[in-house]
Structure 1
């Protein structure tokens, strides 16, 4: 799955990447003050502990971001790298280094650090997530297609960030919200993937390439015309994604009407009233 943070998404849950994760960056700072008052061996151990704990904080933060993205999707593959578990392990190693040269104390600190980290942040998702009733192979295809689409959106945003144009960045996020409406639709019903595949792949790939070309132009000269054309492209794409999602919903309604009509006729042949409108 695409493991980066899903930005600007109006339907997402509140992120768990907050004060607790940020506190992990603050906790090792005292080691910097104690390190420089010791002999070379103590200095090396405290600095090693500091950098290990900072790496643990970064790994944990990335793991929480990946879990947010996983939780927000209807169909998703488990994170390829168990970042939160690695963060717990690095926390244990960092605390053990801080506890040396007392071996017994170091072991106790390592065990406590790992246990408290898992208690505070949990472990990474260990299973692929599939919509209820969907075959695993079908859900896997959807997850792969949405991963590709999310990667295109992330690359678009990264390109526009380089321009420093905050108005355009907000516009990109709004477009991404609309595009993700189609993603969620396909995740809920993987049978819609054939209809949406071009939108998730070809069209977003073209949008990503257009964003990169616009950024190249904006760096070479003040090209207001190119910006207007790129904004118009985003408008057209957003409208297309919204219409595609609406058509899928209408198709579902048509399928429901057909099922109701078939059921009504079958019950009528059996001489049973359905109580439905039109009986």
Structure 2
């Protein structure tokens, strides 16, 4: 009998979006695709090519004269480390760009990768007949081209006006803790090898991250959202672990239905909290506008 393909790349079983309660957003069931809000990472393509270049130098060192062995292996190590730092630097920059409030990376990975590229090409230049001056020229050119191709790391913190470092640190710690809970949920459910369940967790994660972004945009909302970022997500993580253990033993459909209902309820609560925070922000803005209008009316 033919069996429907259900691998990780198979399309989702289309289900209509549930009606939104009282004019609110649709619930988790079928409302958010797991790839929504995701962008293709730039940590590929050109950065992956960098991992192949070091092997040209080590091959030349092994096949060439003995005098080139040490410079060849130095070039191999420097360029391989440079490739890894470049890829990690791109990922760190993408995470920095994705958030409205972010600290600059503690280690300027792409800048260090440019320096290592220059050092590796300098060592590679010493393998042949080129003198140290020409090798240094190749190294400087390679470092400059690397920096031009991949750009420098973010060198300044991203903080909105009126937000100090202490507030941003509190928000960053709370969001980082919340992200660990979401990651644990995703990894726990992945053990079941059930794409539909993984999509449900991804959909809930997208809803939760809407709340994260709202708090990052206005750190003053952290107090109102702290329970959601810590207590509720920690409970969701523990419930996911217990569900996975029970469901993996018997694949009880009632257990699965109860867990999906929990995700639906959590998604609705997180969406409601995000909407309330945005409504409060709009109310505060309306008050500020009204105060300014009154002042302008009195001055005229």
TM-score (norm 1): 0.79
Alignment gaps of 5+ in structure 1: 1-7, 273-279
1:108 pairs with 134, 137, 157, which one?
137
Contact 1:131 1:187 in 2 (8 A): no
Task: Provide closer, same or farther for how the CA distance between residues 46 and 267 of structure 1 changes in structure 2, counting only shifts above 3 A.
Answer: closer
1:195 pairs with 224, 240, 249, which one?
224
1:16 aligns with 2:42: yes
**Which secondary structure state, in structure 2, belongs to the residue aligned with residue 181 of structure 1?**
helix
Provide, for residues 212-250 of structure 1, a one-character-per-residue CA deviation record: whole Å limited to 9, x for no partner.
44455566x354455444333322222111111011122
Contact 1:131 1:139 in 2 (8 A): no
1:251 pairs with 255, 269, 280, which one?
280
Residue 27 of structure 1 and its aligned partner are, at CA, apart by 2.6
Q: Supply the distance in 2 between the matched residues of 1:89 and 1:168 (Cα, whole angstroms).
A: 45
Contact 1:13 1:72 in 2 (8 A): no
What residue in structure 2 maps to residue 82 of structure 1?
A: 108
Residue 173 of structure 1 and its aligned partner are, at CA, apart by 2.2
Alignment gaps of 5+ in structure 2: 1-33
Contact 1:21 1:61 in 2 (8 A): yes
1:96 aligns with 2:125: no
What residue in structure 2 maps to residue 275 of structure 1?
A: none
What residue in structure 2 maps to residue 209 of structure 1?
A: 238
Contact 1:156 1:211 in 2 (8 A): yes
Q: Which piece of structure 1 moves more, 98-107 or 76-85?
A: 98-107
Root-mean-square deviation (CA, aligned residues, Å) is 3.0
1:118 pairs with 105, 130, 147, which one?
147
Q: Supply the distance in 1 between the matched residues of 2:250 and 2:76 (Cα, whole angstroms).
A: 46
Q: Which piece of structure 1 moves more, 24-33 or 121-130?
A: 24-33
What residue in structure 1 maps to residue 56 of structure 2?
A: 30
1:70 aligns with 2:99: no
Q: Supply the distance in 2 between the matched residues of 1:24 and 1:122 (Cα, whole angstroms).
A: 15
Q: Supply the distance in 2 between the matched residues of 1:41 and 1:212 (Cα, whole angstroms).
A: 58
Q: Supply the distance in 2 between the matched residues of 1:216 and 1:98 (Cα, whole angstroms).
A: 54
1:175 pairs with 185, 204, 208, which one?
204
Residue 13 of structure 1 and its aligned partner are, at CA, apart by 5.6
Contact 1:56 1:91 in 2 (8 A): yes
Provide, for residues 195-220 of structure 1, a one-character-per-residue CA deviation record: whole Å limited to 9, x for no partner.
0111112222232333344455566x
Contact 1:13 1:68 in 2 (8 A): no
User: 1:102-181 counterparts in 2 under 5 A?
Assistant: 102-181=131-210
Task: Provide closer, same or farther for how the CA distance between residues 116 and 163 of structure 1 changes in structure 2, counting only shifts above 3 A.
Answer: farther
User: 1:218-233 counterparts in 2 under 5 A?
Assistant: 221-225=249-253, 226-233=255-262
Q: Which piece of structure 1 moves more, 8-17 or 192-201?
A: 8-17
Count of matched residue pairs: 263
**Which secondary structure state, in structure 1, belongs to the residue aligned with residue 64 of structure 2?**
coil
Provide, for residues 165-220 of structure 1, a one-character-per-residue CA deviation record: whole Å limited to 9, x for no partner.
3333332222221111111111221111110111112222232333344455566x
Q: Which piece of structure 1 moves more, 37-46 or 165-174?
A: 37-46
TM-score (norm 2): 0.74
Residue 119 of structure 1 and its aligned partner are, at CA, apart by 0.8
Contact 1:12 1:72 in 2 (8 A): no
